[in-house]
Amino acid sequence: MAAMLVGALRRGSGCRGGSRLLAQSLRRFVSTLVVAEHEGGFVKPSSLSALAAAEAIAKDNKVSVLLGGSGPALHKAADHAASSHPLVSEVLVADSEALAHPLAEPWAELLRSVQQKGGYSHVIASSTSFGKNLLPRAAALLDVSPVTDVTAVKEPHVFVRPIYAGNALCTVKYTGEEPCMMSIRSTSFSPTTEAMSETKVAPITQVDLSFLSEGKSSWVNLTSQDTERPDLANARVVVTGGRGLKSAENFKLLEQLAEKLGAAVGATRAAVDAGYVPNDLQVGQTGKIVAPELYMAFGVSGAIQHLAGMRDSKVIVAVNKDADAPIFQVADYGLVADLFEVLDELLKKIPEKK
């Protein structure tokens, strides 16, 4: 491959022509491994966005999808992955109880083994809790540096990522050894809506897991809230409360509004630190990144760390009694009023969700 790239550069007329030929040659040799997450027998939307990022790297990208876990749900998710995107050429299934939970230790070993056998030029994961936990460990095992929080792909090795809590965008070029490992913000890459033909279903291959050994970490349990509301990271509507709600009891007003709107409930770090809600509802730089069609903020001041997690929302509505609150600088619609009065009026006038 190196000789072919050198030949391409020599044929180029001048530096600019050579660089263009180099980029074209790189695209011809791109192959990508997407580390996918699944739930309930389906690939998660954040992982479908990772497939869109793979397409942004190269239109003729050869993409393999890696799924891990155990049981019937894993194999159902593999069927879904096989027909999820036109570029998917293979689905790799790692069926083991050791991979049934998002532990970085066995997953990093799996990723290293699959990469060493497949020789992929790129490895992509979403910037979810799982992806952020897995990617650095796997990159260390492969002796490469990951590129994190990518929001746009300019060339196969040139990416855009936010810095300074999202207040600036930085264009970076990866110059290290292969693979180029990257995590992507799922809100920046829209999953494909192209209809898949039944004849374009990718083959499913079982991964040899003989290398897996018992690690030093073990899964204990998962504590989560049982709710019918949509997942915060993927919801079309998000209703968020800040410290202005003053108590956990008052947060129930937001939950009632969310029920009527079919929305997810979010919170600022200040509200989480005050103990109003659990930390899995936190939106912001150190929480979840969301980009819903409608984002409603009640009692949210608009600290820079919070704005970093929701500034890509399509429509932002803010309610705060402080007219100088920074949230109004990014809001499409702002209302300077007492949030409890506004919530009371909304709960009275919005009908129950059918």
The pLDDT mean for the chain works out to: 88
Annotated binding site for FAD: which residue ranges?
243, 268-269, 282-286, 299-306, 320
Mean pLDDT of 278-298: 93
Q: Residue 151 belongs to a domain with what CATH number?
A: 3.40.50.620
Domain that holds residue 314: 237-349
Q: If we measure between CA atoms, which residue out of 111, 122, 116 comes closest to residue 29?
A: 122
Beta bridge partners of 296: 239, 317
Band the pLDDT of 352: cuts 50, 70, 90: confident
Beta bridge partners of 267: 241, 282
Q: Residue 278 belongs to a domain with what CATH number?
A: 3.40.50.1220
pLDDT digit string, tens, across residues 174-191: 999 999 999 999 989 988
Percent of the chain with pLDDT over 90: 73
Residue 243 in this model has a pLDDT that exceeds 50:
yes
Q: Do residue 148 and residue 291 come from a single domain? A: no
Q: Do residue 192 and residue 50 come from a single domain? A: yes
Residue 234 in this model has a pLDDT that exceeds 90:
no
Band the pLDDT of 8: cuts 50, 70, 90: very low
Q: Do residue 181 and residue 259 come from a single domain? A: no
Q: Do residue 251 and residue 160 come from a single domain? A: no
The token pair that represents 63 in the structure block: 């993409």
Last-in-domain residue among 162, 184, 206: 206
Residue 7 placed within a domain: no
Query: 200 or 147: whose pLDDT is higher?
Result: 147
Tell me, what's the pLDDT at 61? Answer: 85
d(CA 283, CA 228): 19
Tell me, what's the pLDDT at 226? Answer: 63
Residue 92 placed within a domain: yes
Band the pLDDT of 13: cuts 50, 70, 90: very low
Tell me, what's the pLDDT at 339? Answer: 96
Residue 297 in this model has a pLDDT that exceeds 70:
yes
The token pair that represents 297 in the structure block: 């903020």
Residue 26 placed within a domain: no
Q: Do residue 156 and residue 250 come from a single domain? A: no
Q: If we measure between CA atoms, which residue out of 179, 99, 167 comes closest to residue 141?
A: 179
Tell me, what's the pLDDT at 9? Answer: 36
Q: Do residue 313 and residue 248 come from a single domain? A: yes
Residue 70 placed within a domain: yes
> Residue 187: exposed, middle, or buried by beta-carbon count in 10 A (0-12, 13-18, 19+)?
buried
Distances in Å between the Cα of 165 and the Cα atoms of 245, 269, 290 are 25, 14, 14
Residues 6+ positions from 162 with CB-CB distance below 8 Å: 149, 151, 168, 169, 170, 308
Tell me, what's the pLDDT at 14? Answer: 47
Tell me, what's the pLDDT at 4? Answer: 36
Q: Do residue 199 and residue 259 come from a single domain? A: no
Residue 197 in this model has a pLDDT that exceeds 70:
no
Q: Do residue 58 and residue 194 come from a single domain? A: yes
Last-in-domain residue among 183, 206, 229: 206
Cβ 270 vs Cβ 243: under 8 Å: yes
Residue 266 placed within a domain: yes
pLDDT digit string, tens, across residues 310-325: 988 999 999 999 999 9
Q: Do residue 182 and residue 280 come from a single domain? A: no
> How many domains in the chain?
2
Residue 90 placed within a domain: yes
Tell me, what's the pLDDT at 207? Answer: 95
> Residue 290: exposed, middle, or buried by beta-carbon count in 10 A (0-12, 13-18, 19+)?
buried
Tell me, what's the pLDDT at 34? Answer: 97
Band the pLDDT of 10: cuts 50, 70, 90: very low
Band the pLDDT of 203: cuts 50, 70, 90: very high
Q: Do residue 56 and residue 140 come from a single domain? A: yes
Tell me, what's the pLDDT at 6? Answer: 36
Q: Do residue 189 and residue 245 come from a single domain? A: no
Annotated binding site: which residue ranges?
243, 268-269, 282-286, 299-306, 320
Residue 219 placed within a domain: no
| Residue whose pair of structure tokens reads 């997407």 in the numeric block | 34
Residue 334 placed within a domain: yes
Last-in-domain residue among 206, 229, 258: 206
Tell me, what's the pLDDT at 193? Answer: 65
Band the pLDDT of 11: cuts 50, 70, 90: very low
pLDDT digit string, tens, across residues 67-116: 999 999 999 999 999 999 999 999 999 999 999 998 999 999 999 999 99
Residue 136 in this model has a pLDDT that exceeds 90:
yes
Model pTM score: 0.81
Q: Do residue 281 and residue 189 come from a single domain? A: no
